């Protein structure tokens, strides 16, 4: 009885030093330069000058704790949904406080519409405002396509909407074509609006209508299909992320020697990246965002995260980097 208790306590407090160090260091690495060069970017500094280091330290501790929870593959899908949504809540709470209470809550002091498609469309229309595209590309260099599975303030909603049902089969070819047509469409519309000299009000109406239709897609289609249709077809940033994410060296691999072809992982992937063909080919499909949910679902531990095709499973390191970036995003990626 006593020895059982000790074992449970040991397991409960088992610390994975490597992921702890990586996640906290990543948060500090991303936030300390901000604290030194542009402290006002941090919310604490805007209200209590000189207190930014407290915010940075708390976020680093949070990242360390989260990495310890996520190290257990059984927790991945459940906890990722929660921390991703937590970010979205913080983001939109700050947005609303900035709108209705105090504009200090808005990072730039100016209002920007929280619609990811604008990351692509706004710089084309305005010929300036490259902060978000630069943030996106820098983040892709750090975490690859996990922008669309852990970091975007809207994607979390699509994820939640799709949780209600198990994924239904979709026509992958059609969804991929649709996804890239959306990028072309959004770029074309931004160019046309620029050429005709559309007013900012007209642009805002356009963008809000686009965003609201996206919410309708989540609530109706993603919910019904159990699949993140909004993020895999409608949002143009998703297409860019998947495309550029292919430059990132981490990939999902399936060990054909241990895989039992049970297809359970397939019914846990909300991005349609684990069809029968993908499983038989031993790798995730085109839409994979490196979310890690399939690790939770595989009873045979056949799925791993590989770096440059190497055999070693790098999930632990990759997850710690994503978690560290997520903690830094809590401080940075606000409007
Ligand atoms: S596809 Fe668009 S809305 Fe979805 S997570 Fe990616 S950027 Fe966000
Ligand atoms: S294949 Fe796995 S890691 Fe990739 S999106 Fe699907 S569940 Fe996530
Ligand atoms: S859940 Fe695991 S064992 Fe089953 S098909 Fe997927 S990879 Fe293979």
**Tell me, what CATH number does 288's domain have?**
3.30.70.20
Q: Using the atom order of ligand 2, give the atom closest to the CA of residue 292.
A: 3
Domain count, the chain: 2
For residue 190, CA distances in Å to 121, 174, 194, 196, 309 come to 6, 24, 6, 10, 39
Mutate which of 261, 273, 285 to test ligand 3's pocket (most atoms within 8 Å of Cβ)? 261
pLDDT confidence of residue 125: 84
237 and 258 part of one domain: no
196 and 240 part of one domain: yes
The number of beta carbons lying within 10 Å of the beta carbon of residue 264 is: 14
pLDDT confidence of residue 87: 96
128 and 227 part of one domain: yes
pLDDT confidence of residue 106: 81
210 and 298 part of one domain: no
Helix/strand/coil for 275: coil
Is the predicted pLDDT of residue 10 greater than 90, yes or no?
no
201 and 137 part of one domain: yes
273 lines ligand 2 (CB under 6 A): yes
235 and 297 part of one domain: no
* C-alpha 141 – ligand 2 centre gap (Å): 19
Query: What is the overall mean pLDDT for the chain?
Result: 91
- Examine the fold and report which residue of 204, 232, 248 is the final residue of a domain before the chain moves on: 248
Helix/strand/coil for 147: helix
64 within domain boundaries: no
154 within domain boundaries: yes
257 within domain boundaries: yes
pLDDT confidence of residue 200: 85
254 and 239 part of one domain: no
pLDDT confidence of residue 228: 97
User: pLDDT tens-digit profile of 269-289?
Assistant: 999 999 999 999 999 999 999
Tell me which residue range forms the domain holding 235: 112-248
228 and 124 part of one domain: yes
117 lines ligand 1 (CB under 6 A): no
Q: Using the atom order of ligand 3, give the atom closest to the CA of residue 263.
A: 5
The closest of 104, 102, 84, 95 to 42, measured between CA atoms, is 104
319 within domain boundaries: no
**Cβ(165)–Cβ(228) under 8 Å?**
no
191 and 223 part of one domain: yes
User: pLDDT tens-digit profile of 228-239?
Assistant: 999 999 999 999
239 lines ligand 1 (CB under 6 A): no
The dihedral region occupied by 251, where left means phi > 0, alpha psi between -120 and 50, and beta the remainder, is beta
159 within domain boundaries: yes
Atom 8 of ligand 2, residue of closest alpha carbon: 291
49 within domain boundaries: no
* C-alpha 241 – ligand 3 centre gap (Å): 26
121 lines ligand 1 (CB under 6 A): no
- The phi and psi torsions of 305 (rounded to 5 degrees) equal -105, 120
206 and 302 part of one domain: no
69 within domain boundaries: no
- Examine the fold and report which residue of 248, 272, 306 is the final residue of a domain before the chain moves on: 248
∠ CA 230-297-255, rounded to 5°: 105
Q: Using the atom order of ligand 1, give the atom closest to the CA of residue 236.
A: 2
The number of beta carbons lying within 10 Å of the beta carbon of residue 279 is: 22
User: pLDDT tens-digit profile of 64-106?
Assistant: 999 999 999 999 999 999 999 999 999 999 988 888 998 888 8
pLDDT confidence of residue 167: 92
260 lines ligand 3 (CB under 6 A): yes
262 and 219 part of one domain: no
279 and 296 part of one domain: yes
Of 30-39, 71-80, 102-111, 212-221, the range with the lowest mean pLDDT is 102-111
pLDDT confidence of residue 110: 57
237 within domain boundaries: yes
The two beta strands, 250-254 and 303-307, are antiparallel
pTM assigned to the model: 0.92
């Amino acid at each position: 009885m006593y020895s059982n208790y000790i074992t449970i306590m040991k397991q409960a407090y088992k610390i994975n030093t490597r992921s702890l160090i990586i996640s906290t260091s990543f948060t500090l690495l991303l936030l300390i330069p901000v604290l030194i060069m542009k402290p006002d970017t941090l919310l604490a500094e805007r209200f209590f000058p000189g207190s930014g280091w407290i915010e940075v330290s708390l976020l680093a501790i949070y990242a360390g704790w989260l990495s310890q929870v996520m190290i257990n593959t059984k927790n991945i899908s459940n906890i990722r949904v929660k921390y991703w949504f937590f970010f979205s809540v913080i983001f939109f709470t700050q947005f609303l406080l900035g709108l209705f209470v105090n504009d200090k809550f808005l990072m730039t002091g100016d209002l920007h519409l929280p619609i990811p498609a604008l990351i692509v469309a706004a710089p084309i229309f305005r010929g300036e405002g490259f902060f978000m595209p630069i943030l996106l590309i820098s983040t892709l260099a750090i975490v690859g396509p996990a922008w669309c599975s852990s970091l975007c303030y809207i994607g979390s909603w699509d994820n939640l909407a799709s949780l209600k049902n198990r994924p239904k089969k979709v026509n992958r070819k059609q969804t991929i074509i649709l996804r890239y047509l959306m990028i072309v469409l959004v770029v074309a519309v931004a160019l046309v609006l620029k050429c005709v000299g559309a007013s900012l009000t007209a642009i805002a109406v356009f963008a809000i209508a686009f965003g609201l239709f996206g919410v309708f897609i989540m609530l109706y289609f993603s919910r019904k299909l159990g699949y993140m249709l909004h993020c895999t077809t409608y949002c143009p940033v998703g297409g860019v992320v998947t495309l550029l994410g292919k430059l990132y060296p981490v990939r999902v691999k399936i060990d054909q020697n241990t895989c039992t072809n049970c297809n359970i992982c397939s019914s846990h992937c909300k991005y349609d990246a684990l069809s029968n063909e993908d499983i038989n080919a031993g790798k995730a499909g085109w839409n994979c965002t490196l979310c890690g949910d399939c690790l939770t679902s595989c009873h045979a531990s056949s799925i791993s995260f590989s770096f440059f095709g190497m055999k070693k499973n790098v999930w632990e390191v990759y997850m710690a980097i994503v978690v560290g970036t997520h903690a830094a995003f809590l401080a940075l990626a606000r409007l």
